[in-house]
Structure 1
Amino acid sequence: MTETALTLLPSLNPWMQAGIGLAGLLLLAYVVQAVAQYLLLHTVPRIRAHMDTRWARVVWHDKVLRRLARVVPSLVIQAGIGAVPQLDPVAFVVIRNLTVALTVLQLVRTLNALLDATLQEHAQAPGGAPTSTRSIKSYVQLGKLALTLVGAIVIVAALIDRSPLILLSGLGAMSAVLMLVFKDTILSFTAGLQLSSNDMLRVGDWIEMPQMGADGDVVDIALHTVKVQNWDKTITTIPTWRLMSESYRNWRGMSESGGRRIKRTLRLDAASVHFLDDADIERLARIALLAPYLQEKREAVHAANAALGPGAAAPANLRRLTNIGTFRAYVQAYLRAHPGIHQGMTLMVRTLEPTPEGVPLELYCFTATTAWVQYEAIQGDIFDHLIAVLPEFGLHLYQSPTGHDIRAGLRQQSLQ
């Protein structure tokens, strides 16, 4: 039957001969693609699983193999188009150019899939934060953009049957326009290089950028944008180049240090500040945290008063302990003994300049954890305790008069 078909073929109309030849060539291309796809998707994965290496998982990724198989039909048509009988020369040139353009298109898609596989392998690679937090997504996107541009130039050149160098020379004359069109891309790529080379930003960093409304964790670093998931779970998208042209705060140093700062003040009522008498000192000496301090201070006060001589018996001339100073020493000792406070970092309790709102007593220390929930719990426990223990020292928090205070004062005045 094949010999009969070959015998009858020359007797057919030239257009029919060309049509049958093209149909046979398309059928052959389809069969070859099916065979190539079967071999690539069924044989290569077994070899990949046996090797179990990173480069094999990237180069022989299923998506890469699937797109590589789609390159085969256009190659078969290019190789066999010359064997189609009675094909018009114009049709030959058009079909050849179309298949070349299709081949370039499928090769660009295959290389893009290879870049995607590289990005996926990098994101899933073991090795901890140094590997997983430095994103290569911007480089992958830039590579895909460059491949797309080059592929588009070659495809257009193939379709119009001209050399790609002619189009490239035309693009050179349009450099000013291209610079304007790709201005954000160029700025973002340059900023991305600086951010990466100087290790200024990683995926997972907590950053604050008030001018952009960003306050949260960096979840994605791409070529053109950086995505920040705020604490209310909203997403703020920041142009990459703005991270180099504007300031922002990165809290990575705090996270890596192992301690998170507490800097808060207790505003004490100045009217409650007074000297301690002997009964107060004896009562406060029973507090274990204060016993060493009071013992040392009593000895120092007695020595200083004895040095003044018998003529300085007036209270104004004598050194005496104050309740606010003793409370400051208690807070210092309390923080030193607290298991939630980092003892290897700065720890300080100081009295600031008095204000119309009272005498500020500032605590400056660091917790032993950087987790937000645990940090707030430790800070809350500390200030709950300090506020509750203030009356033991005869101190009171400063508080503006409330409606209840005014009513109580008026009621007491009316009773008098």
Structure 2
Amino acid sequence: MEQLLAFFSAQPLWAQSVIGVTGLLIASLLVNFILKDVILRIAAPYLDRKSSTIDRSATWFATVAPLLVISKGIGFVPGLEDWAVELISDVSQSVIVLSIAMGIVKALTYVNEVYERRPQAKNRPIKGYLQVVKIIVLCGAVIILISILINESPFLLLSGLGAITAVLLLVFKDTILSLVASVQLSTNDMLRVGDWITMTSMGADGTVIDISLHTVKVQNFDKTIVSIPTYRLVADSYQNWRGMAESGGRRIKRALHLDQNSVRFLSDEEVLDLKKFKMLKAYLADKREEIAEWNARELEGEDAPVNARRLTNLGTLRAYIEAYLRWHPHINNDFTLMVRQLAPGPQGVSLELYCFTDTTAWEIYEGIQADIFDHLIAIVSEFDLQLFQEPSGSDYARLVDRGS
């Protein structure tokens, strides 16, 4: 060892500098190899194999050691100018700060990945909060980097932040608004990943796939993705369909438009003929008994049909539709179910169906709704009623042919 030191001392100053820098680089590379290629590989089986984020975090932290070797050892290399020693030391310390900051950022990302594996993660996402911590860490790293490069205390830089608070508030306005909105969304359970939301003002109608600090990503049903600023979900109105999904039933609210000119009273023969409908037997029996009792009581022997109560084809159709819905195997009778008559208008008189299916699956729901209206549209003629629709080109053509 003494001979090695004697040999080193006998060399010219420039050679001592080259030997010192070379030895320092070899030492840092050796430390880097031991940490990353030996220790981390030994520890790899004990780390979380479901994510590579923890590996990247450990790699960033392991980078600190070889940089410390360079930062602390460069001062012992003989023959280097003071400015060179200071420059190499400052750059090494700056990269150390950056490595630590990136290691913390990756560790926070891993924390979020682990949390998202929990069942309650969809109800209480923490991604937005972790992003705030990441911003604080990176801002702190920038302040320390600047203090290292200008050789000033970081506390001196922090003391000057008061003068630029207004600028910072302006620059980070969206971040602050988004942070407050994230807290409100999470605390009030207003939004979860997987929710179906509709926000017309932002062109969103689909499933929430990600909730972060600044944006909420919604995948529309046409597979496009809309990014909504988080604070807009608190400031503006949107529709969340989660209640529908959790209830187990989806509403049908659609009307049949009937020609008012086809509405009329039913004769006794027609009433008897309608008894062929199994679902109308009880209704017709009860209704005829009720009407007969009323006529006997109120008319007192009068036989003018205009003064008597009579069944109508429209009312009988309404009773049939309600009975049909209550019989239908895919209509949930535990929810509101009614067939109501809307006010007559330019499109005739309308019977609106208001009921709920026993499923919320979109494809199945649309199939159930279509089957119901296929049946009702086809059976309207059995009650001597006509559906209303606007005249088409073929209607006008028939009129022309008839006129000629």
| CA distances 1:177-213 after superposition (whole Å, capped 9, x unpaired) | 1111111111111111111111111122222222222
Q: Which amino acid aligns with 2:363?
A: V
Cα–Cα, structure 1 residues 246 and 199, in superposed 2: closer, same or farther, change >3 Å? Answer: same
**1:40 Cα offset (Å):** 3.7
Q: Does the aligned pair in 2 maintain the 1:208–1:249 contact within 8 Å?
A: yes
**1:59 Cα offset (Å):** 11
* Partners of 1:223 and 1:142 in 2: CA distance: 7
Q: Pick which of 218-227 and 83-92 moved more.
A: 83-92
**1:83 Cα offset (Å):** 3.9
Q: Does the aligned pair in 2 maintain the 1:48–1:60 contact within 8 Å?
A: no
Residues 199-238 of structure 1 mapped to structure 2, 5 A cutoff:
199-238=189-228
Q: Does the aligned pair in 1 maintain the 2:67–2:92 contact within 8 Å?
A: yes
* Partners of 1:36 and 1:411 in 2: CA distance: 94
| CA distances 1:228-279 after superposition (whole Å, capped 9, x unpaired) | 2122222222211222221111111111111111111111111111111121
* Partners of 1:206 and 1:180 in 2: CA distance: 33
| CA distances 1:370-410 after superposition (whole Å, capped 9, x unpaired) | 11111111111001100101111111101233333333344
* Partners of 1:235 and 1:210 in 2: CA distance: 14
Q: Pick which of 189-198 and 346-355 moved more.
A: 189-198
Structure-2 residue corresponding to 1:68: 61
**1:174 Cα offset (Å):** 1.0
Cα–Cα, structure 1 residues 132 and 356, in superposed 2: closer, same or farther, change >3 Å? Answer: closer
* Partners of 1:368 and 1:137 in 2: CA distance: 35
**1:99 Cα offset (Å):** 2.3
* Partners of 1:309 and 1:9 in 2: CA distance: 132
**1:63 Cα offset (Å):** 1.5
- Are 1:96 and 2:96 counterparts? no
Q: Does the aligned pair in 2 maintain the 1:358–1:398 contact within 8 Å?
A: yes
- Are 1:108 and 2:101 counterparts? yes
The equivalent position to 1:342 in structure 2, one of 322, 332, 344, is: 332
Structure-1 residue corresponding to 2:152: 162
Residues 18-167 of structure 1 mapped to structure 2, 5 A cutoff:
18-48=17-47, 61-123=54-116, 125-127=117-119, 130-132=120-122, 134-167=124-157
Unaligned runs of 5+ in 2: none
* Partners of 1:13 and 1:242 in 2: CA distance: 70
**1:309 Cα offset (Å):** 5.0
**1:327 Cα offset (Å):** 0.6
* Partners of 1:280 and 1:39 in 2: CA distance: 94
Structure-2 residue corresponding to 1:299: 289
Q: Does the aligned pair in 2 maintain the 1:212–1:238 contact within 8 Å?
A: yes
* Partners of 1:356 and 1:179 in 2: CA distance: 57
Q: Which amino acid aligns with 2:125?
A: S
Cα–Cα, structure 1 residues 328 and 174, in superposed 2: closer, same or farther, change >3 Å? Answer: same
Q: Does the aligned pair in 2 maintain the 1:342–1:368 contact within 8 Å?
A: yes
* Partners of 2:240 and 2:348 in 1: CA distance: 34
Residues 161-180 of structure 1 mapped to structure 2, 5 A cutoff:
161-180=151-170
**1:214 Cα offset (Å):** 1.5
**1:220 Cα offset (Å):** 1.7
Q: Does the aligned pair in 1 maintain the 2:123–2:186 contact within 8 Å?
A: no
CA-atom RMSD in angstroms: 2.2
TM (normalized to structure 2)?
A: 0.93
* Partners of 1:4 and 1:58 in 2: CA distance: 51
What secondary structure does 1:334 align onto?
Answer: helix
